[in-house]
Structure formats: C-alpha cells, structure tokens
C-alpha cells in the first residue's frame, strides 16, 4: 500500500511539474518587450532652459497652475539632488529590474491576454510608502526612492515598513497595484470579505511571480512567514471562536489586515506575530478554493467572499500536526 501511495504521489508531482513547465514555456514565447523611461534621471539632468520640452514629453507630471520656478527649485534643491544621487548609485543599471519586469508582464499577458502592455516610468517622489507603485491602464510608475534598501540613511520609518524598501519588492508591488483592476472591489467591510480580497491579490502573485518566495510575495521575513505557517490553526480557531468572520467591526482591519508592526489578538502572541496575518489566512483560503474547484481565474477573482469561503474546503492543520 505504501508503495502504491508513493508511486501515486510521484506521478502527481511529475504531472504538476510538467504542467508548470508548459505554462512557463508558453510565457517565454510571448513576444513582449517592456519600455522603461527614467523620468527621475531626465528630470534632474535636464537643463533649466529645456524644461518646456520635458513638460511636453511628460505632461502628467507637471500639473497646470504651477510655475516653472517650482520645478527649477526642485531640480536645484540640495536635498533632492542628494536623493537623486543615491537613487543613481542603486539603479545606475536598471537592466536587471527591466528583465524581471519583462518576465512579469509576459505572465500578465498569458493570464490576462486583453491587458495592454504599459510603459514603465521611474520617478523620485515624496516617499509616499502607500503609493510606491501606481499601475494605470497604460502606465506603471515606480518611485525608486522607496527601494534603496531597508538600511538606507534616508529612511526615518519604523522597521516594519522599511523591511519592504528593497529592490526585490518592486515586482510584488507592481502586482499589488495591478490586482486592483482585476479583483472585484469590496462590497462590505466584514473580516471575511477583507481576507478573501487580499487572499486573491496574493494568489495572483503565485501565478505572476512563480519564482518568488511566499515571504517576498507578502512582504514578510522568512521568520514571519514561518510564524504564520506554524500558527495557522491557532489563528483560524481564534477567528471562529470569537465570531469574527462576518463581523464588520472597523477595528478588525487595523488588527489583522492593514500594514502594522504586529497583529492584535490582544494576547501574548501579539509580540511574536507579524502584521497582516488576516491577509495570509485569506491567501491560504483562496489557494484551497483553487485547488478544490475547477474554475477560470477571472471567475474566481469576481466571486463574492462568502461563496468562495464555503466552496474552498479550507481547513488548516491543527498546531503541531
């Protein structure tokens, strides 16, 4: 019997690998080339007399009503120029990132063939960590000042934010922004709806960033991801026993969904937990749904949270199993 089970397991593994290989081969063959424009470099290296030409080329970065003196002052401001110097040190050669972006957009084209291939523009902005990447229909704007490395001297932020100011987070952030165009928006504020919404976002990263670790996809350290794996059963039991799934208490988002130094069970484990554990639980729920249901990706992305949960057969292992 053990031998039969082993043979079956190996067969399933080989079929799964073959399927993955077929997908990746199909992705590689997609004819696509991403264009990257370094607006950050153009802006700080443009002569003041040529600013009109730059405004004509990138009108969306120059809102009407601001005199040229605003932009000239920024070009010449020592702090902005120092920041530009640091960005150039890190990204003087953007080709490695561009290659990764190219692979990402091939995956996007494979799973979402109707999606336009956007132009990628790099900028230096105001260190708004809530808008590190902006994905629109035809543009992807990446704020490079927020990917200099968590230990950079310019970052006066808490560690739980700085840990994701790394180059390896550029692509996961692109997918996060892209996902807002593909996932049905939240229609209620229940914890379950939030779990499923962000679980769908992370499942897209499984498909679009197959070479990334789970920790990098969600923006955790390896230790934080391991904590979630080891405490999955406990967290799920806590949600059920406290009847939180269908609660629309607005505090639940801050406790379990939003970026934070830790999650808030109001117990001793809070000190060891990472923030956003609800999104991690939602991820496992969506993975379980896709494993147990043969449905198109786009259908799942539009499905309401209650139906997805009920059909997911999600049942985490008990702690210690």
Phi (first) and psi of residue 64, to 5 degrees: -65, 150
Residue 264 pLDDT > 90? yes
Residue-wise pLDDT tens digits, 106-143: 999 999 999 999 999 999 999 999 999 999 989 999 99
Taking every pair of Cα atoms in the chain, the longest distance, rounded to a whole number of angstroms, is 80
317 pLDDT band, cuts 50/70/90, is: confident
Nearest to 55 by CA among 39, 36, 77: 39
Q: Which helix (H) or strand (E) holds 139?
A: strand 139-143
Tell me what the pLDDT averaged over the chain comes to: 92
d(CA 107, CA 122): 21
- Amino acid 4: pLDDT: 55
pTM, entire model: 0.91
CB 286 within 8 A of CB 200: yes
d(CA 67, CA 16): 59
- Amino acid 320: pLDDT: 45
User: Which residues, 6+ apart, have CB-to-CB distance to 249 below 8 Å?
Assistant: 191
CB 133 within 8 A of CB 174: yes
Report residue 206 as tokens. 């499984």
């Amino acid at each position: 019997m053990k031998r039969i089970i082993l043979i079956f397991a190996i067969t399933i593994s080989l079929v799964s690998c073959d399927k993955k290989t077929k997908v990746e081969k199909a992705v590689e063959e997609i004819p696509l080339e991403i264009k990257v424009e370094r607006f950050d470099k153009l802006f700080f290296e443009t002569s003041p007399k040529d600013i009109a030409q730059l405004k004509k080329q990138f009108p969306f970065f120059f809102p009407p009503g601001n005199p040229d003196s605003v932009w000239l002052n920024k070009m010449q401001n020592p702090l902005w120029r120092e920041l530009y110097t640091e960005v150039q040190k890190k990204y003087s050669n953007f080709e490695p990132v561009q290659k990764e972006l190219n692979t990402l957009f091939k995956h996007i084209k494979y799973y979402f063939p109707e999606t336009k291939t956007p132009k990628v523009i790099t900028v230096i902005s105001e260190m708004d960590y809530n808008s590190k990447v902006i994905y629109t229909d035809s543009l992807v704007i990446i704020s490079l000042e927020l990917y200099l490395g968590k230990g950079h001297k310019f970052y006066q932020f808490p560690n739980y934010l700085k840990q994701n100011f790394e180059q390896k987070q550029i692509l996961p952030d692109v997918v996060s922004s892209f996902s807002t165009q593909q996932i049905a928006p939240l229609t209620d504020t229940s914890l379950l709806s939030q779990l499923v919404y962000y679980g769908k976002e992370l499942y897209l990263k499984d498909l679009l960033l197959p070479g990334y670790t789970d920790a990098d996809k969600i923006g955790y350290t390896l230790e934080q991801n391991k904590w979630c794996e080891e405490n999955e059963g406990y967290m799920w039991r806590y949600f059920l026993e406290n009847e939180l799934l269908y609660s629309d208490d607005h505090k639940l988002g801050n406790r379990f969904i939003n970026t934070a130094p830790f999650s808030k069970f109001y117990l001793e484990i809070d000190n060891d937990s990472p923030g956003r554990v609800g999104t991690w639980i939602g991820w496992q729920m969506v993975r379980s749904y896709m494993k147990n249901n043969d449905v198109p990706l786009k259908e799942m992305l539009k499905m309401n949270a209650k139906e997805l949960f009920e059909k997911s057969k999600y049942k985490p292992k008990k702690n210690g199993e």
